[in-house]
């Protein structure tokens, strides 16, 4: 309680600082922001006297046990993982000098951890809000504490820097998971007891299984339904309705760590066993972009998968750029991937109500060419006369033979491969279909080995030794 005598004893500078702090607190209250933690040990996070705004549920609190090395918040979509990680990071900045913020990509770290609606800038109280310095990739707090932003896609950037703590978001979506984890963990060497907080949707990856077994890991599991009262109706319609009642829903909503499922197209152990790094990719004879258009062309997800066929006659899955796009955006993304990876063709399914894609690809290709250039679009069409399961089975056999290698981690594609059970759902997922189109194209040329790469990039790759594909190397050797 501050008395009039206390105020009278302040210098003009101190009084001005006090008034600024008071104004900031009032702004926070007017915006409905309240302190994250409350004194109710079993609080459900709903507003109550003394906390008339959204705040932490009991499961979102960091443990008081100082012997914990890793806090693992393993929860479904919409549970509140980002808010939990942001509040953890803000609290750490009050007493610890240097922290690391790591998302799957640089854009994720910026857009979600820092600037997102539940990110640090939105959650920090006005009296302790950091300054974001994007050119230096860092946040600087009023007390001088610093948090540096990193991308798990660039693990070599984690060499050297030291930190007291770290917030690692969506660990299961890190492309070079083990390597990035190792580099980040080596940097946790400041202070008496460096600590890592992880917020992620679960996947049955070796590292996550290992962390769950560690005695110094504090693991919290949470369901989407724990936070249902804070989720918009549109989220419930778009996400919960999509996954509820499905095998994948057990992972995405209930946060269950799924093991290999009987009847699934591919066992996850087969993918893990044959996973490679960019340096391990051999000379590639052929590269294509597999494309599975959205069924209606009006907002569904379009599958876009890049695969290469190596001199060892193995298949290398190099990128998954699948996303919800308009037809025009999907066509441009497909051609951009072709240029980026030096692919020969875009392999696209053009039936079953997807007739729009052929005309759109032709038009976009013409728009992208110099005036007067009549080069035909590098598109090969797949007419799916067989059922989805029959088309996918030869690809599944290649996985069993150890002839398909994922370059790094491709989490969403791998989820579809390991959870799609044809007998349960005859409609195969988009990423999986795009992969099947691309690998099947190479399988047809497996004996002759005559397919040419993109002529515009063939000369650039001539003489390149194995493991030096430029689009792959760029991911781990950016300046």
Question: Are both 67 and 179 inside the same structural domain?
Answer: yes
Q: What is the mean pLDDT of residues 380-401?
A: 80
Which of the four pLDDT bands, split at 50, 70 and 90, describes residue 463? very low
Question: Are both 150 and 283 inside the same structural domain?
Answer: no
Q: How far apart are CA 271 and CA 206, in angstroms?
A: 12
Per-residue pLDDT reduced to its tens digit, 102-122? 999 999 999 999 999 999 999
Nearest of 258, 289, 296 to residue 416 by alpha carbon: 258
DSSP state of 464: P
Q: Is residue 2 part of a domain?
A: no
**Three-point CA angle 465, 469, 470, nearest 5°:** 125
Handedness of CA 236, 241, 247, 248 (dihedral sign): negative
Which of 219, 252, 285 is the last residue before a domain boundary? 252
Per-residue pLDDT reduced to its tens digit, 250-274? 888 888 887 767 778 898 889 999 9
Per-residue pLDDT reduced to its tens digit, 3-29? 767 667 778 776 666 556 655 555 555
Q: How far apart are CA 23 and CA 153, in angstroms?
A: 41
The CATH number that applies at residue 381 is 3.30.420.240
The pLDDT > 70 percentage for the chain reads 82
Name the residue with higher pLDDT: 428 or 138: 138
R_g (Cα) of the chain, nearest Å: 25
Name the residue with higher pLDDT: 78 or 423: 78
Q: Is residue 10 part of a domain?
A: no
Count the neighbouring beta carbons within 10 Å of the beta carbon of residue 307: 30
Q: Is residue 1 part of a domain?
A: no
The CATH number that applies at residue 109 is 3.40.50.300
Question: Are both 352 and 273 inside the same structural domain?
Answer: yes
Poorest-pLDDT segment among 36-45, 95-104, 190-199 = 36-45
Q: Is residue 12 part of a domain?
A: no
Residue 479 has pLDDT above 70, yes or no: no
Question: Are both 99 and 196 inside the same structural domain?
Answer: yes
The reported pLDDT for the residue numbered 426 is 63
Question: Are both 116 and 187 inside the same structural domain?
Answer: yes
Domain of 463, in residue numbers: 268-476
Question: Residue 367: CB partners within 8 Å, gap ≥ 6?
Answer: none
Q: How far apart are CA 194 and CA 216, in angstroms?
A: 12
Burial class (CB in 10 A: 0-12, 13-18, 19+), 273: exposed
Residues 37 and 61 sit within 8 Å (Cβ to Cβ): yes
Which of the four pLDDT bands, split at 50, 70 and 90, describes residue 477? very low
Which of 195, 228, 252 is the last residue before a domain boundary? 252
The reported pLDDT for the residue numbered 42 is 84
Question: Are both 204 and 285 inside the same structural domain?
Answer: no
Nearest of 207, 183, 201 to residue 70 by alpha carbon: 207
Question: Are both 399 and 311 inside the same structural domain?
Answer: yes
Residues 121 and 132 sit within 8 Å (Cβ to Cβ): yes
Q: Is residue 154 part of a domain?
A: yes
The reported pLDDT for the residue numbered 462 is 38
Question: Are both 298 and 155 inside the same structural domain?
Answer: no
Q: What is the pTM of this model?
A: 0.73
Please tell me whether residue 418 adopts helix, strand or coil conformation: helix
The reported pLDDT for the residue numbered 18 is 57
The reported pLDDT for the residue numbered 382 is 79
Mean pLDDT of the chain: 84
Q: Is residue 263 part of a domain?
A: no
Question: Are both 311 and 448 inside the same structural domain?
Answer: yes
Q: Is residue 42 part of a domain?
A: no
Which of the four pLDDT bands, split at 50, 70 and 90, describes residue 210? very high
317's enclosing H/E stretch is strand 315-320
Which of the four pLDDT bands, split at 50, 70 and 90, describes residue 460? very low
Question: Are both 318 and 411 inside the same structural domain?
Answer: yes
Q: Is residue 6 part of a domain?
A: no
Give one DSSP letter per residue of 432-449, joined into a string.
HHHHHHHHHHHHTTTTT-
- If one counts the domains in the chain, the total is 2
Question: Are both 205 and 301 inside the same structural domain?
Answer: no
Q: How far apart are CA 173 and CA 238, in angstroms?
A: 21
E strand spans, 343-460: 345-349, 379-382, 404-406
The reported pLDDT for the residue numbered 53 is 78
Question: Are both 241 and 354 inside the same structural domain?
Answer: no
Q: What is the mean pLDDT of residues 321-342?
A: 93
Name the residue with higher pLDDT: 464 or 133: 133
Which of 252, 283, 298 is the last residue before a domain boundary? 252
Nearest 10 degrees: Cα torsion 394, 399, 400, 401:
90
Per-residue pLDDT reduced to its tens digit, 126-180? 889 999 999 999 999 999 999 999 999 999 999 889 999 999 999 999 999 999 9
Name the residue with higher pLDDT: 402 or 474: 402
Q: How far apart are CA 209 and CA 393, in angstroms?
A: 29
Residue 191 has pLDDT above 90, yes or no: yes
Nearest 10 degrees: Cα torsion 240, 241, 244, 246:
-130
Nearest of 162, 170, 212 to residue 191 by alpha carbon: 162
């Amino acid at each position: 309680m501050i008395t009039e005598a206390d105020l009278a004893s302040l210098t003009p500078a101190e009084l001005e600082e006090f008034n600024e702090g008071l104004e900031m607190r009032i702004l926070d209250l007017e915006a409905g922001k309240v302190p994250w933690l409350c004194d109710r040990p079993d609080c459900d996070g709903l507003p109550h006297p003394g906390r008339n705004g959204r705040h932490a549920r009991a499961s979102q609190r960091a443990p008081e046990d100082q012997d914990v090395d890793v806090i693992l918040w393993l929860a479904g979509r919409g549970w509140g993982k980002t808010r939990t990680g942001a509040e953890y990071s803000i609290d750490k900045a009050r007493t610890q000098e240097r922290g690391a913020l790591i998302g799957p990509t640089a854009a994720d770290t910026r857009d979600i951890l820092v600037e997102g609606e539940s990110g640090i800038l939105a959650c920090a109280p006005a009296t302790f809000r950091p300054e974001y310095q994007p050119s230096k990739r860092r946040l600087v707090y009023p007390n001088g504490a610093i948090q540096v932003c990193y991308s798990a896609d660039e693990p070599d950037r984690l060499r050297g820097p030291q930190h007291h703590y770290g917030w690692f978001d969506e660990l299961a979506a890190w492309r070079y998971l083990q390597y990035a984890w190792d580099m980040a963990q080596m940097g946790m060497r400041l202070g008496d007891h460096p600590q890592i907080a992880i917020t992620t949707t679960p996947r049955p990856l070796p590292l996550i299984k290992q962390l769950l077994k560690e005695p110094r890991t504090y693991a919290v599991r949470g369901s989407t339904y724990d936070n249902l009262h804070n989720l918009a109706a549109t989220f419930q319609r778009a996400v919960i309705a999509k996954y509820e009642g499905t095998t994948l829903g057990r992972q995405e909503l209930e946060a269950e760590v799924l093991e290999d499922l009987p009847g699934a197209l591919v066992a996850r152990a087969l993918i893990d066993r044959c996973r490679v790094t960019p340096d391990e990719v051999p000379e590639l004879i052929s590269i294509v972009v597999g494309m599975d258009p959205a069924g209606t062309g009006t907002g569904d997800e379009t599958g876009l998968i890049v695969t290469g066929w190596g001199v060892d006659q193995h298949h290398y899955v190099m990128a998954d750029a699948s996303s919800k796009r308009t037809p025009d955006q999907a066509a441009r993304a497909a051609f951009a991937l072709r240029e980026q990876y030096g692919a020969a063709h875009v392999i696209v399914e053009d039936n079953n109500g997807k007739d729009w894609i052929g005309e759109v690809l032709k038009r976009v290709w013409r728009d992208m060419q110099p005036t007067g250039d009549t080069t035909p679009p590098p598109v090969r069409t797949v007419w799916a006369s067989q059922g989805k399961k029959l088309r996918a089975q030869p690809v599944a056999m290649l996985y069993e033979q150890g002839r398909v290698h994922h370059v790094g981690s491709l989490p969403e594609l791998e989820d579809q491969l390991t959870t799609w059970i044809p007998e349960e759902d005859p409609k195969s997922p988009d990423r999986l279909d795009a992969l099947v189109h691309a690998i099947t194209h190479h399988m047809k040329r497996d004996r002759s080995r005559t397919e040419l790469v993109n002529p515009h990039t063939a000369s650039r790759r001539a003489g390149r030794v194995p493991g030096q594909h430029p689009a792959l190397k760029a991911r781990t050797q950016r300046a």
